[in-house]
Structure 1
Amino acid sequence: MSVSASAAVDDRLARRNALLLAMAQAVGAASASIVIITGSLVGYMLLEENKSLATVPVSAMVLGTALGTLPAGMIMRRFGRRPGFMAACLMGCVAGLLAAFAIFIEDFLLFSLGACLTGFANAFAQQYRFAAADTASDAFKPKAISWVMAGGVLAGIVGPQTVIWTKDAFDPILFAGTYVAQSGLALISLVLVAFLKIPKPVHVKGTPRGGRPLGQIMAQPRFIVSAACGVTSYALMSLVMTATPLAMIACGLSETDAALGIQWHVLAMFGPSFFTGSLIARFGKERIVAIGLAMLAACAIVALMGIELVHFWSALILLGLGWNFGFIGATAMLTDTYQPEERNMVQATNDFLVFGFVAFASFSSGQLLDVFGWSTVNWLVFPFVLLCLVLLGWLLTHERRNNAV
């Protein structure tokens, strides 16, 4: 059998897995958006004093995602992708029921724990994009990743609509029905991932069993640059997105204006995923990452130009597009840095770095806006974008020199 024919056979399974994971992403990622939409409102409702802590449940979810990344890698390395994903879906089901119970008994700390467990389960779901690439040929890997990320478009619809349809299900106890529904979404994800077929990695001859030491892998120039670009794309997106609704309201715009702006932002984040993989295959991973970084800089430029509605909405759309190109491109770059048997720990380490910085950006965004203002939040974008562009240029130069030798 020819190489191309073999790849076609392999990619038949890869397409099946990518489609299942995209559907699981559409349903599973809705849990995170449910917490983002309702977490602060429920927190405010449950707190009798010190209402400033109302945003803690949302931060707890982000922290749970960061804490879950390394255990996710270890569990899936030991037991495989499908058992790991199924266990996470069950955890997401428990998290939703726990949060609903906390609302019924009016326990803020228990509700925050439920949000944290939702984030922990979400750490496993973040591996969907890597799992889609596990059975794919090198040519199909960017498209497989892109397909899964495209599932986020539906998640951006499923999450808000779930809140709207279920918030009064246990009237007068607001949002309890929403978290019962979140538990149901986790069960749907469980059914989808149960049909995955991803064999455990086969040991590559000539390499240490279990793969190279993690430090050796992380020392590769391509790992350093891909991780830096992934962290920067996601953390800057979180930093600016979190501050934008607050800045819009402070500038005299309405909550509806802010909500619609975030909706356009989410669509811009995930909508391009239908073709980002094809663009990567045509123009190269590094070039797409660079374009994404340039869009993040363009977002900051537009935001600094004024405080009218058009400035905020345009900046949010550019922010979403920049995240899509930058993060998916960086994810595709990362797949070049490890052998099959090394993938779980490398991917988990990468996500630990990404979501650790995202958690920090989420926590610090409001404080930066309050102390230094909207302009400072946007000026912070430029040095990090410039650093990543310099790193990309250095990587290309380094690899050309090595290939020439």
Structure 2
Amino acid sequence: MMLHKDSVKALDVQSASYSSSSEKQKTLYKRTLFIVSISQVFGGAGLAAGVTVGALLAQEMLGTDAFAGLPSALFTLGSAGAALFVGTLSQRYGRRTGLTVGFIVGGLGAIGVVIAAIINSIFLLFASLLIYGAGTATNLQARYAGTDLANNKQRATAISLTMVFTTFGAVAGPNLVNVMGDFALSIGVPSLAGPFILSAVAYILAGLVLFIMLRPDPLIIAKMIEESKLKHNHREASSNTGRIENKRGVIVGATIMVLTQIVMVAIMTMTPVHMTHHGHGLGEIGLVIGFHIGAMYLPSLVTGFLVDKVGRTAIAIASGATLLLAGLLSAMAPGDSMILLVIALSLLGLGWNFGLISGTALIVDSTETSTRAKTQGRVDVLIALSGASGGVLSGMVVAYSSYSTLSFVGGILSLLLMPVVFWSRLVEVKSKLNNFLFYW
């Protein structure tokens, strides 16, 4: 009991030092971004394996294309449960605990996939892919950690900085497919399981970086700073008591991310299978997926700046337009054209990037520190479930129709972003008009 009181007292002193010093807050904000960015380099490498060879591994073990989208669906479904778990854990114990546990569990799932490939167990493969999904969910939730101590004009930029560093690992991962495949064969493991060895190491390293270095915890400090301000300012306390979560902002932000996730996952999942049917090798597939993942993360720095300066709505509309172009180009591109596939998949990644950063910024804008991590976890559950749906349906559409049909439908689906965003703007304008009329 005495130890608990001492630790609480130490935390109070720590929060007081941060709440009274804007310089210390800025320093911790920058330090948090740096540490999370390091972890994202490893996290990006970890997620790339499932994206690049997951469908091919299932195709090889099952002997059919109809369920080639199942691995993507499974690890995306696993990421749904993990998103809620990591969000709840982060809300209660801080980002450090939630993100560390998520990455370690994802690494264990990748180890399970490797064992499943060795013993040729479909059941173990599917179970391991569910667990592997924890790494995907954690990699996404890490983007929120940089926003905990950011002000309104820094939030999208903070998200983008962490995502830029994800690029280094995410692009390297697919381009190491052949290297890891050869390494796997040299130790008696099926070549398609090789990239999952890289995933296991990368995810576990990401978790260890956060566990060792993410101190003090940014979310805990942010909550304590807010509580400290409320204690010392009764007027602010009374006004904040009436503040509630902006549900419209959460709905719009979530919808933007859900739609972009469905379109991106559906087309991306079946691209390796489509390329295999047209005679492309693993190296070429890795190159296309590498460009795709690079476009998902590398433009983030510019995207974050634009979201903060131009606005969340404008970039969300740009997301829909870019995804439409990507879908149409994927549908019309000849299967043997590497250049057009690279361009189409790069546009697909860029459209997803626009949607994720603008939607995430809306979620952060619309939540309070006291409930933010939990709400973020719930939103990421929806994103993961939508990705799982896209993964399952993509395999079936291609098996019973074609890759072109899948891409065309995905592009058209992205147009749904437009009415959602316009509705949001219309409600906002009406609200401002009503406030103006009430004032006068």
Q: Return the TM-score normalized by structure 1.
A: 0.86
* Alignment CA distance shift 1:77-1:402 (3 Å): same
* Alignment CA distance shift 1:84-1:8 (3 Å): same
Equivalences, count: 394
Q: Could you list the runs of 5+ residues in structure 2 that have no partner in the other structure? A: 1-19, 231-236, 436-440
**Cα deviation, residue 332, structure 1:** 0.9
Report what 1:385 is aligned to.
Answer: 414
- Tell me the amino acid that sits aligned with residue 87 of structure 1: V
Report what 1:231 is aligned to.
Answer: 258
* Alignment CA distance shift 1:400-1:361 (3 Å): same
Task: Tell me, in whole angstroms, the C-alpha distance in 1 between the residues paired with 2:356 and 2:432.
Answer: 26
Q: 1:4-403 alignment to 2 at 5 Å?
A: 9-43=24-58, 56-160=70-174, 163-167=177-181, 168-169=183-184, 170-175=186-191, 179-194=196-211, 195-196=213-214, 197=216, 198-200=218-220, 201-202=223-224, 203=227, 205-206=237-238, 217=245, 220-250=247-277, 252=278, 254-255=280-281, 257-307=284-334, 309=337, 310-403=339-432
Secondary structure of the residue aligned to 1:184 is helix
Equivalent pair of 1:286/1:333 in contact (CA under 8 Å): no
Task: Tell me, in whole angstroms, the C-alpha distance in 1 between the residues paired with 2:91 and 2:207.
Answer: 19
* Alignment CA distance shift 1:84-1:291 (3 Å): same
Equivalent pair of 1:248/1:312 in contact (CA under 8 Å): no
Task: Tell me, in whole angstroms, the C-alpha distance in 1 between the residues paired with 2:332 and 2:106.
Answer: 42
Task: Tell me, in whole angstroms, the C-alpha distance in 2 between the residues paired with 1:382 and 1:173.
Answer: 38
Equivalent pair of 2:84/2:381 in contact (CA under 8 Å): yes
* Alignment CA distance shift 1:34-1:379 (3 Å): closer
Task: Tell me, in whole angstroms, the C-alpha distance in 2 between the residues paired with 1:305 and 1:45.
Answer: 27
* Alignment CA distance shift 1:226-1:16 (3 Å): same
**Cα deviation, residue 40, structure 1:** 4.3
- Tell me the amino acid that sits aligned with residue 155 of structure 2: K
Task: Tell me, in whole angstroms, the C-alpha distance in 2 between the residues paired with 1:118 and 1:339.
Answer: 30
Secondary structure of the residue aligned to 1:134 is coil
**Percentage identity across aligned positions?**
25
* Alignment CA distance shift 1:163-1:354 (3 Å): same
- Tell me the amino acid that sits aligned with residue 321 of structure 2: A
Q: Give the superposed CA RMSD.
A: 3.0
Task: Tell me, in whole angstroms, the C-alpha distance in 1 between the residues paired with 2:340 and 2:103.
Answer: 39
Task: Tell me, in whole angstroms, the C-alpha distance in 1 between the residues paired with 2:307 and 2:87.
Answer: 26
**Cα deviation, residue 11, structure 1:** 3.3
Task: Tell me, in whole angstroms, the C-alpha distance in 2 between the residues paired with 1:132 and 1:269.
Answer: 18
* Alignment CA distance shift 1:173-1:311 (3 Å): closer
**Cα deviation, residue 120, structure 1:** 2.1
- Tell me the amino acid that sits aligned with residue 126 of structure 1: L
- Tell me the amino acid that sits aligned with residue 354 of structure 1: I
Q: Which moved more, 1:276-285 or 1:193-202?
A: 193-202
- Tell me the amino acid that sits aligned with residue 370 of structure 1: A
Task: Tell me, in whole angstroms, the C-alpha distance in 1 between the residues paired with 2:150 and 2:427.
Answer: 27
Equivalent pair of 1:268/1:321 in contact (CA under 8 Å): yes
* Alignment CA distance shift 1:121-1:240 (3 Å): closer
Task: Tell me, in whole angstroms, the C-alpha distance in 2 between the residues paired with 1:93 and 1:247.
Answer: 28
Q: Return the TM-score normalized by structure 2.
A: 0.80
- Tell me the amino acid that sits aligned with residue 91 of structure 2: R
Equivalent pair of 2:172/2:290 in contact (CA under 8 Å): no
**Cα deviation, residue 335, structure 1:** 0.9
Cα deviations by residue, 1:266-299 (Å, 9 ceiling, x for unpaired): 2211110132111112211111111121111122
**Cα deviation, residue 191, structure 1:** 2.9
Report what 2:8 is aligned to.
Answer: none
Task: Tell me, in whole angstroms, the C-alpha distance in 2 between the residues paired with 1:121 and 1:140.
Answer: 26
- Tell me the amino acid that sits aligned with residue 35 of structure 2: L
Task: Tell me, in whole angstroms, the C-alpha distance in 1 between the residues paired with 2:143 and 2:117.
Answer: 33
Task: Tell me, in whole angstroms, the C-alpha distance in 2 between the residues paired with 1:29 and 1:193.
Answer: 15
* Alignment CA distance shift 1:7-1:140 (3 Å): farther
Task: Tell me, in whole angstroms, the C-alpha distance in 2 between the residues paired with 1:46 and 1:373.
Answer: 22
* Alignment CA distance shift 1:259-1:318 (3 Å): same
* Alignment CA distance shift 1:235-1:52 (3 Å): closer
* Alignment CA distance shift 1:228-1:86 (3 Å): same
Secondary structure of the residue aligned to 1:153 is helix
* Alignment CA distance shift 1:207-1:91 (3 Å): farther
Equivalent pair of 1:296/1:323 in contact (CA under 8 Å): yes
